[in-house]
Amino acid sequence: MPKKPAQSKPAKKTVERAFKGLAAAPGIAIGKAYVRFGDHIEVREYTIAKTKVAAEVKRLGRAVDEARQQIHDLQKRAGEMRGAAGEELVFLFDAYLGMLDDSRLVRGARQAIEQERINAEAAVQHEYSRLAIRFEAMGDAYIAARLDDIREVAQRLIGNLVRTPSKAPPKPAKGGIIVAEMLSPADMAQIDPDVVDAVAAALGGTEGHTAIMARALGLPAVLGVADLGDNVQQGDIVIVDGYSGQIIVSPTPATIKKYEKRLAEKRRGTRALDRLRFEPAISKDGTSVQLMANVELPVEMDAVRLSGAEGVGLLRSEFMFMNRDDIPSEDEQVQVLKQIVGSMKKLPVTIRTLDIGGEKPAPALLSHIDEAAASALGLRGIRLSLANPDTLHTQFRAFLRVAPGRNIRILLPMVTTPGEVKRAKAILVEAAESLQRDGFTLPDPLPPVGVMIEVPGAALAADALAKASDFFAIGSNDLTMYTLAVDRANEHVAHLFNTLHPAVLRLIQFTTQAALRARIPVSICGEIAGDPRFTSLLVGLGLHDLSMTASNIPMVKKRIRDMDGLAAGQRALQIMEQTDSGRIAMMIDDFNALA
């Protein structure tokens, strides 16, 4: 919500201080802090050029129209609710709509843009603060409740405006370390890894998409550092230790030296692993494993090629929809996909349809539904795509246009029923037919369509899903989250996120066996696939197709080349008899130590 009055910062401390957080992405970085703290919705104020004032007023107008549409939608749903609560909500939303007409809030904000020449979001915030001061001075309970309503509307307007910023946020200097309260996956997509050396944030867990993107970009990251906000100031030297999850602020010269030494050692280790790049991933007794890369952003493609990946096992297409307020056109999608798919030549590329919802935002698709509707248990993944069939149709047309002469597979996220697969396949066929009518060459046959197994119900019904789909990709991140009821991006429950929990392992085993029985390919592309500690367990369970962050491929390959596949299978059977995740971890470590 609108910012509290600025508090004077404490005097700069230069004593070394260490803070513990969650080791979210490996690596060490030493650099100057670029601090981005404040409200979740960051409202920056800046001056508008005289010639741009009219455009800024228009931008406010668009945010008002958008808010009006959002509230109408909410009101419609409230009207469908039974009983007094629904009725009351309908009246409340009427009041909100009134505030979006020529109310004091909107009028005042417009005047602030015109007279003070400030940006629209700051203008809304100022006007709200002015109203708050006046209302609070009245000391009346009814008026105080009205203020809550105004805050709600102002918040919505600011949200709409911030999602469509007219000016990009200032960039950190080269070698800088971003220190923030929260970094969303969309924020990560805007970070240039050639400029920024590491990230740290007060919120966030190790399995969320922010952490995954940090690993993909090769940026050391420490998340969930509770005391960060009050202890780091702009320009402080900080060390981010993405191995131990430590942040050191104002390190002494001796600490810096110690970390520089560790950094050099790590680099030597990486160079040794790099030599394995073109060696096959075959165990000592001849078990062959396919190692593929997960890709979240096109900038990763150089790293993918250098890693020796045998293809892309998971292309998270949502990056194309982030940080914009419109839906990318078919041509735009084709252009981006062509670059990615083209760079893999004939190697397989599995493109996943949009997995928006949950912690992954996409304003263009989500602006007309409220946030709760797109929660982790709501309209996420294939559900949101099937609710927006035109967007899915366009995605499929783009996939099919890049497919001829390439090795493409299509993957559907968050599937729970065969019906969803059938509906998606029908849209794929429609997309193919429309392309044919438009004179495009189609791939023949159409690409295989597979499903992510990432919901416990999908895993338990894997036999039924196998009949409707051409392959499985196990998403162990969400499978763990939904099985254990642990939000993967929430630092408070990060200690409970455990893919070695017997319930999760049993679902992975059950899915793998269902795929083998149905004779369809099965891969795993959650974070567990890229951790060499777990390679022997996965291979032992029959998973011979692993997809991971490209930089982990050499480590996993080394583990496979040192391993005995038969022994891994026997050990996996013993592990699956266990009921305690601590004991399972111990048995894995023992096995790894022997081989």
Report the distance separating Cα 106 and Cα 65, nearest Å: 12
Residues 6 or more apart whose CB falls under 8 angstroms from that of 38 comprise 3, 181
Question: Residue 363 touches which of Mg ion, ligand PEP, none (CB < 5 to 8 A by kind)?
Answer: none
Report which DSSP code applies to 82: -
Report the distance separating Cα 215 and Cα 211, nearest Å: 6
Residue 421 interacts with ligand PEP (CB under 6 A): yes or no = no
Reference 477, options 209, 183, 222, 201; nearest CA is 209
Burial environment of residue 548 by CB neighbours within 10 A (0 to 12, 13 to 18, 19 or more): buried
Contact 143, 135 (CB under 8 A): yes
Q: How far is the CB of 30 from ligand PEP (least distance, A)?
A: 30
Give the residue with the Cβ less far from ligand PEP, 201 or 508.
508
Q: How far is the CB of 237 from Mg ion (least distance, A)?
A: 37
Contact 249, 17 (CB under 8 A): yes
Report the distance separating Cα 313 and Cα 352, nearest Å: 9
Q: Which stretch binds ligand PEP (CB under 6 A): 179-187, 251-259, 476-484, 501-509?
A: 476-484
Reference 359, options 495, 192, 481; nearest CA is 481
Count the site residues for Mg ion by CB under 5 A: 3
Q: How far is the CB of 488 from Mg ion (least distance, A)?
A: 9
**CA angle, 540 as apex, 26 and 466 as ends, to 5°?**
95
Dihedral angle over CA of 539, 545, 546, 552, nearest 10: 90
Residue of the chain from 197, 296, 478, 545 that contacts Mg ion (CB under 5 A): 478
Structure tokens at 383: 């559900």
Q: How far is the CB of 486 from ligand PEP (least distance, A)?
A: 13
Question: Residue 316 touches which of ligand PEP, Mg ion, none (CB < 5 to 8 A by kind)?
Answer: ligand PEP
Rounded to 5 degrees, φ, ψ at 288 are -100, 135
x-or-dash string of contact with ligand PEP, 164-203, rule CB under 6 A:
----------------------------------------
Q: Which stretch binds ligand PEP (CB under 6 A): 223-231, 267-275, 339-347, 469-477?
A: 469-477
Give the residue with the Cβ less far from ligand PEP, 162 or 529.
529
Give the residue with the Cβ less far from ligand PEP, 128 or 534.
534
Residue 475 interacts with Mg ion (CB under 5 A): yes or no = yes
Q: Which stretch binds ligand PEP (CB under 6 A): 105-113, 279-287, 426-434, 473-481?
A: 473-481
Q: Which residue is nearest to ligand PEP (CB)?
A: 475
Residues 6 or more apart whose CB falls under 8 angstroms from that of 1 comprise 39, 41, 151, 154, 155
Residue of the chain from 300, 310, 359, 454 that contacts Mg ion (CB under 5 A): 454
Q: How far is the CB of 24 from ligand PEP (least distance, A)?
A: 14
Residue of the chain from 159, 328, 475, 532 that contacts ligand PEP (CB under 6 A): 475
Give the residue with the Cβ less far from ligand PEP, 478 or 491.
478
Residue 318 interacts with Mg ion (CB under 5 A): yes or no = no
Instruction: Please identify every residue annotated as catalytic.
Output: 209, 525
Question: Residue 526 touches which of ligand PEP, Mg ion, none (CB < 5 to 8 A by kind)?
Answer: ligand PEP
Burial environment of residue 567 by CB neighbours within 10 A (0 to 12, 13 to 18, 19 or more): middle
Q: How far is the CB of 314 from ligand PEP (least distance, A)?
A: 6
x-or-dash string of contact with Mg ion, 174-213, rule CB under 5 A:
----------------------------------------
* Alpha helices, H only, 301-388: 301-307, 330-343, 363-366, 382-387
Q: Which stretch binds ligand PEP (CB under 6 A): 35-43, 254-262, 426-434, 471-479?
A: 471-479
Q: Which stretch binds Mg ion (CB under 5 A): 319-327, 473-481, 529-537, 544-552?
A: 473-481
Give the residue with the Cβ less far from Mg ion, 240 or 314.
314
Residue of the chain from 316, 401, 425, 557 that contacts ligand PEP (CB under 6 A): 316
Q: How far is the CB of 113 from ligand PEP (least distance, A)?
A: 39
The two counts, helices (H) then strands (E), for the chain are: 23, 16
Q: How far is the CB of 447 from Mg ion (least distance, A)?
A: 20
Q: How far is the CB of 415 from Mg ion (least distance, A)?
A: 11
Count the site residues for ligand PEP by CB under 6 A: 11
Residue labelled with tokens 């700069």:
12
Report the distance separating Cα 28 and Cα 43, nearest Å: 31
Contact 547, 292 (CB under 8 A): yes
Report the distance separating Cα 161 and Cα 183, nearest Å: 18
Contact 22, 491 (CB under 8 A): yes
* Contact positions with ligand PEP (CB under 6 A) in 338-397: 355
Q: How far is the CB of 153 from ligand PEP (least distance, A)?
A: 33
Q: What is the largest CA-CA distance in the chain?
A: 81
Report which DSSP code applies to 288: B
Give the residue with the Cβ less far from Mg ion, 109 or 351.
351
Residue 454 interacts with ligand PEP (CB under 6 A): yes or no = yes
Q: Which stretch binds ligand PEP (CB under 6 A): 173-181, 277-285, 396-404, 474-482?
A: 474-482
Structure tokens at 464: 């039924």
Structure tokens at 161: 């405006």
Reference 478, options 209, 288, 152, 275; nearest CA is 209
Q: How far is the CB of 480 from ligand PEP (least distance, A)?
A: 8
x-or-dash string of contact with ligand PEP, 483-512, rule CB under 6 A:
------------------------------
Give the residue with the Cβ less far from ligand PEP, 432 or 525.
525
Report the distance separating Cα 487 and Cα 510, nearest Å: 23
x-or-dash string of contact with ligand PEP, 27-46, rule CB under 6 A:
--------------------
How would you list the strands of the sheet with 176-180, edge to edge? Answer: 17-20, 246-249, 237-241, 28-36, 176-180, 196-201, 221-223, 22-25
Local structure of 268: helix, strand or coil? helix
Residue labelled with tokens 């559900």:
383
Give the residues lining the site for Mg ion (CB under 5 A).
454, 475, 478
Give the residues lining the site for ligand PEP (CB under 6 A).
212, 314, 316, 355, 454, 475-478, 525-526
